């Protein structure tokens, strides 16, 4: 099955076409500056990237351009758009309504729309993108894969905020967690690399990118994760503060004489390792600055690692043990110094890192020694492939169900 995977932002649309049988990416690209002017990037497998400007007043035109490019007689990878048998959409917030991926019919889209308050920056552009796709490909099944779904197995004791309970019942305020597609993909792959079934292992996944989160996955189910109602909670991130005393927000607004909105902008966009270092949100810049003696850059790196250690330690306690720890995303996959600094704190419980394996960049690898009591892995995440797999599963289930209904005369 050829699956178009789409990830819509407010002014961008990332896409890939994946052949689900081979799991090969046939083409990928990005539409940027939607609603401003429009830039399309397109890369068929094994060929150079093409980039050109084209008017994209709205997401509909972006989808049209993507399909035109994919079927281009010269460098397209499809003979017609009918070759696309399903579309998988990355959806950010499914609230408590969606604990797994689902076919996107009008009823489901309306339910997602009702959740807009929980993700005002992310859900509305996704819905615009899905609706644009449905208009252009009305007969192609569309599947929504939610960033929050994998974390829906968390017990209430882990997801409830210690606020008046009616805020949970009235406003759905609770911890949801994000990056779920990545946590699911990486935990399942880690179990596979160990030669075990997910049901038989306890795994901690460290998704360390510009946005960062950790999850505890016990017997294949998420039991804890570090992000909350929004992706702001948890670890120190590129520009997000992560956990802080909530009073800091009122204090900043009061001391700086700024509004709540402006304060939240600082907490989201000017904090994290950027805020501490004053240098950059990018770990490569921080490494360089720290090597040149910049003390704040070093402090930012140390604080980041400290928080990762704190979360891993607490998740080991939550699961009553751990069999494997997996690192993924930009920093997790590419920063051996961060992995080493974090993992040295777990030597006491038998974690032994193999320095040769840990010097690799970006490849799938076990970085602990084979005798290490707890195994440590680098597993590059692949959210697009995870979306493709879920999409095929849901669409196939529906085809089987329709066939049974036909036979039963329903």
Residues that bind ligand AMP (CB under 6 A): 209-210, 238, 281-284, 329-331, 334-335
Q: Compute the Cα dihedral for 44, 50, 55, 57 and give only its sign.
A: positive
Please give the residue whose beta carbon sits closest to ligand AMP in the complex.
Answer: 330
Residue 202 CB, nearest approach to ligand AMP (Å)? 24
Q: Strands 2-8 and 84-91, how do they pair?
A: parallel
Q: Which of 37, 117, 147, 358 is catalytic?
A: 147
- Residue 93 CA to chain centroid, in angstroms? 11
Does residue 285 carry a catalytic annotation? no
Q: Compute the Cα dihedral for 20, 213, 209, 229 and give only its sign.
A: positive
- Residue 355: phi and psi, rounded to 5, are -60, -25
CA dist., res. 327 & res. 364, Å (int): 10
Q: Token digits for 348?
A: 């006491």
CB 92 within 8 A of CB 8: no
Residue 330 CB, nearest approach to ligand AMP (Å)? 2
Choose between 69 and 334: whose C-beta lies nearer to ligand AMP.
Answer: 334
CB 236 within 8 A of CB 216: no
Choose between 98 and 327: whose C-beta lies nearer to ligand AMP.
Answer: 327
Residue 243 CB, nearest approach to ligand AMP (Å)? 19
Residue 90 CB, nearest approach to ligand AMP (Å)? 14
- Residue 284 CA to chain centroid, in angstroms? 21
- Work out the end-to-end distance of the chain between its first and last CA atoms, rounded to an integer number of angstroms: 27
CA dist., res. 34 & res. 329, Å (int): 26
Which residues are identified as catalytic?
Answer: 147
């Amino acid at each position: 099955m050829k699956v178009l995977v789409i990830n819509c932002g407010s002014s961008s649309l990332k896409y890939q076409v994946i052949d689900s049988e081979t799991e090969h990416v046939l083409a990928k690209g990005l539409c940027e500056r939607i609603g401003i002017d429009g830039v399309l990037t397109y890369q068929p497998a094994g060929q150079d990237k093409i980039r050109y400007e084209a008017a994209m007043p709205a997401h509909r035109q972006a989808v049209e351009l993507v399909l035109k490019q994919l079927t281009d007689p010269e460098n397209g990878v499809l003979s017609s758009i009918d070759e696309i048998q399903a579309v998988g959409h990355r959806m950010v917030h499914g609230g408590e309504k969606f604990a797994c991926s689902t076919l996107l019919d009008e009823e489901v889209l309306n339910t997602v729309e009702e959740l807009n308050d929980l993700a005002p920056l992310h859900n509305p552009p996704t819905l615009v993108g899905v609706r644009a796709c449905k208009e252009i490909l009305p007969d192609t099944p569309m599947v929504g894969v939610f960033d929050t779904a994998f974390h829906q197995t968390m017990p209430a004791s882990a997801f409830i905020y210690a606020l008046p309970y009616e805020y949970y019942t009235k406003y759905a305020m609770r911890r949801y967690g994000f990056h779920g597609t990545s946590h699911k993909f990486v935990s399942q792959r880690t179990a596979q690399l160990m030669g075990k079934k997910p049901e038989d292992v306890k795994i901690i996944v460290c998704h360390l990118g510009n946005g960062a989160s950790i999850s505890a996955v016990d017997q294949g189910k998420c039991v804890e994760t570090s992000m909350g109602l929004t992706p702001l909670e948890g670890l120190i991130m590129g520009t997000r503060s992560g956990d802080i005393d909530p009073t800091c927000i009122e204090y900043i607004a009061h001391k700086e004489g700024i509004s709540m909105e402006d304060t939240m902008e600082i907490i989201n966009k000017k904090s994290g390792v950027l805020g501490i270092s004053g240098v950059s949100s990018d770990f490569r810049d921080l490494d360089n600055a720290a090597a040149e003696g910049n003390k704040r850059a070093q402090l930012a790196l140390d604080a980041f690692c400290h928080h990762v250690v704190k979360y891993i330690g607490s998740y080991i306690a939550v699961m009553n043990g751990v069999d494997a720890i997996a690192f993924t995303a930009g920093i997790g996959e590419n920063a051996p110094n961060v992995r080493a600094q974090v993992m040295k704190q777990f030597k006491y419980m038998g974690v032994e890192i193999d320095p040769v394996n840990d010097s690799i960049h970006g490849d799938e690898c076990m970085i602990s020694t084979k005798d290490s009591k707890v195994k440590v892995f680098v597993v590059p995440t692949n959210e697009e492939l995870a979306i493709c797999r879920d999409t095929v599963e849901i669409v196939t289930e529906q085809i089987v169900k329709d066939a049974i209904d036909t036979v039963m005369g329903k």
